[in-house]
C-alpha cells in the first residue's frame, strides 16, 4: 500500500458565516488564543505523519502562506534585541512545514476545491482537513483515522454522533456500526430533512484514494450550485468498502461565531501559561454575575 503522506487543506471559501470579520481576513487566519485556526490543522497533519501539505487558496488569502514563510527582517530584529523566546516561536512556525499552494479561481464548492489539488497530490492516497473543524484530542484525529486506513487500505471519514434533531445540519452516513468505533458506510445523505439513515455525521476529516478525482471531474453542481464533495463520495462508496471512524475528541465548528467562541474558551482554559489566570477570570465573572445579576450584564458607562 502507498504511504499516506499528503494532506490537502481547502481554504478558498468566502467564510460568510463569520462576516464582517472575514471580509478581508481569511477565516483560517483568525486566532484561536495565540495561533491561527489553520495552524491547529497543520499541526494535526504533521502529528499524524504527513509531510506533503497542500493548501487550496483563493484571491486575498496569501496571508496564509506568509504565516508559514520565513520573516527575515522580524527574525533579525528579534535577534538583535535578544528576544530569544519570541524568536523561537517565530522560527518554529516558519520551519514547521513547506507548503504547496494551489489556486481555486472561483468558489465552486468543496468538491471543486479538492479537485484543484489533483496534480499536486498525484496518484497517491491523501487526507483532507477542513481547517475550521478544529478537533481537540489526545491522539490527533487524523492519526486515529490513519490506523483504520492502514488496516483496511480503504477510504475513511471522521464521524461524530449527533442528536436526532441535529442531523439535518450535517452529511449523515448510512450503513452499520462494526464496533471498535468503526462504521461500514454504504450510503450518505447531505442534510436529511426526514428519516436520517443514522445519527453519525461526517466531520471535516477524510482519507481518500486518488480515484476520487475522476469522480469529482464528473460531479455536476449540486446543492447550492456547488460541486459537492459528498456527491463524489457517494459514488466512491459504490466502488467498494468505505469506512467511518467515530473519533475520540471534541470538535468545534470554528467557522461560525458561537463555535469559535466555544473553541476559544476551551483552548484558553488548557493553555499552559494563560489557562490558570483565564479560569480565575471566568470564575470571578460568573460568580460576580450571580451576585450582581444585572450589574454585570449591563455595566454602567464610566
Ligand atoms: P465552508 O462552507 O465551511 O466554508 O466550507 P465557507 O464557504 O468558507 O464558509 P461559509 O459557509 O461561507 O461561512 C468548508 C471548507 O471548504 C472550503 C472552505 O474554505 C472551508 O475550509 N471551501 C469551500 C473551498 O475551499 N472552496 C469553496 O468553493 C468552498
H-assigned helices in the chain: 37-46, 63-67, 72-80, 84-96, 110-115, 118-121, 141-152, 212-218, 229-237, 257-269, 275-292, 294-297
* pLDDT tens digits along 25-77: 999 999 999 999 999 999 999 999 999 999 999 999 999 999 999 888 899 99
C-beta of 17 in contact with ligand 1 (< 6 A): yes
Q: Is the pTM of this model over 0.85?
A: yes
C-beta of 111 in contact with ligand 1 (< 6 A): no
We report the CATH number of the domain holding residue 24 as 3.90.550.10
- Residue 221 is given by DSSP the state P
* Model pLDDT, residue 300: 43
Identify whether 295 is part of a domain.
Answer: no
Mean pLDDT of the chain: 93
Looking at ligand 1, which residue's alpha carbon is closest to its atom 23? 13
How far is Cα 125 from Cα 241, in angstroms, rounded to an integer? 15
Q: Ligand 1 pocket: which of 38, 107, 110 to mutate (most atoms <8 Å of CB)?
A: 110
Q: How many angstroms separate the alpha carbon of residue 204 from the centre of ligand 1?
A: 11
Identify whether 172 is part of a domain.
Answer: yes
Identify whether 247 is part of a domain.
Answer: yes
Q: How many angstroms separate the alpha carbon of residue 281 from the centre of ligand 1?
A: 34
C-beta of 16 in contact with ligand 1 (< 6 A): yes
Atom of ligand 1 at shortest distance to CA of 27?
A: 8
* pLDDT tens digits along 136-174: 999 999 999 999 999 999 999 999 999 999 999 999 999
H-assigned helices in 116-196: 118-121, 141-152
* pLDDT tens digits along 225-245: 999 999 999 999 999 999 999
Q: What percent of the chain has pLDDT over 70?
A: 95
Identify whether 208 is part of a domain.
Answer: yes
- Residue 171 is given by DSSP the state E
Atom of ligand 1 at shortest distance to CA of 13?
A: 8
Identify whether 201 is part of a domain.
Answer: yes
Identify whether 287 is part of a domain.
Answer: no
Contact 233, 154 (CB under 8 A): no
C-beta of 278 in contact with ligand 1 (< 6 A): no
C-beta of 109 in contact with ligand 1 (< 6 A): yes
* Model pLDDT, residue 72: 87
* pLDDT tens digits along 181-226: 999 999 999 899 999 999 999 999 999 999 999 999 999 998 889 9
Identify whether 296 is part of a domain.
Answer: no
Domain count, the chain: 1
175: domain range? 6-255
Q: How many angstroms separate the alpha carbon of residue 205 from the centre of ligand 1?
A: 14
Atom of ligand 1 at shortest distance to CA of 253?
A: 3
- Does the pLDDT value for residue 296 go beyond 80? no
Identify whether 270 is part of a domain.
Answer: no
Atom of ligand 1 at shortest distance to CA of 108?
A: 28
Q: How confident is the model at residue 292 (pLDDT cuts 50, 70, 90)?
A: low
How far is Cα 280 from Cα 297, in angstroms, rounded to an integer? 19
Atom of ligand 1 at shortest distance to CA of 14?
A: 8
Contact 224, 109 (CB under 8 A): yes
Amino acid at each position: 500500500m502507498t504511504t499516506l503522506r499528503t494532506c490537502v487543506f481547502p481554504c478558498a471559501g468566502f467564510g460568510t458565516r463569520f462576516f464582517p470579520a472575514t471580509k478581508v481576513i481569511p477565516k483560517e487566519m483568525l486566532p484561536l488564543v495565540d495561533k491561527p485556526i489553520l495552524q491547529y490543522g497543520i499541526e494535526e497533519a504533521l502529528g499524524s505523519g504527513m509531510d506533503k501539505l497542500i493548501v487550496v487558496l483563493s484571491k486575498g488569502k496569501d496571508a496564509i502562506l506568509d504565516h508559514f514563510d520565513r520573516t527575515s527582517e522580524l527574525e533579525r530584529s528579534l535577534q538583535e534585541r535578544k528576544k530569544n523566546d519570541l524568536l523561537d516561536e517565530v522560527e518554529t512556525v516558519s520551519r514547521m512545514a513547506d507548503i504547496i499552494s494551489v489556486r481555486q479561481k472561483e468558489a465552486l464548492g468543496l468538491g471543486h476545491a479538492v479537485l484543484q489539488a489533483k496534480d499536486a497530490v498525484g496518484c497517491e492516497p491523501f487526507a483532507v482537513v477542513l481547517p475550521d473543524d478544529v478537533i481537540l484530542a489526545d491522539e490527533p484525529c487524523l492519526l486515529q483515522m490513519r490506523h483504520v486506513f492502514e488496516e483496511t487500505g480503504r477510504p475513511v471519514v471522521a464521524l461524530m454522533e449527533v442528536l436526532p434533531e441535529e442531523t439535518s445540519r450535517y452529511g449523515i452516513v448510512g450503513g452499520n456500526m462494526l464496533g471498535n468505533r468503526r462504521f461500514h458506510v454504504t450510503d450518505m445523505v447531505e442534510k436529511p430533512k426526514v428519516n436520517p439513515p443514522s445519527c453519525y455525521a461526517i466531520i471535516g476529516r477524510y482519507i481518500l484514494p486518488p480515484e476520487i478525482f475522476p469522480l469529482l471531474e464528473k460531479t455536476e453542481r449540486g446543492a447550492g450550485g456547488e460541486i459537492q464533495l459528498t456527491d463524489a463520495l457517494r459514488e466512491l462508496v459504490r466502488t467498494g468498502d468505505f469506512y467511518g471512524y467515530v473519533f475520540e475528541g471534541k470538535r468545534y465548528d470554528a467557522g461560525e461565531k458561537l463555535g469559535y467562541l466555544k473553541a476559544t474558551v476551551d483552548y484558553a482554559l488548557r493553555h499552559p501559561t494563560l489557562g490558570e489566570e483565564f479560569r480565575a477570570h471566568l470564575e470571578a465573572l460568573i460568580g460576580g454575575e450571580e451576585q450582581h445579576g444585572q450589574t454585570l450584564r449591563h455595566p454602567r458607562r464610566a
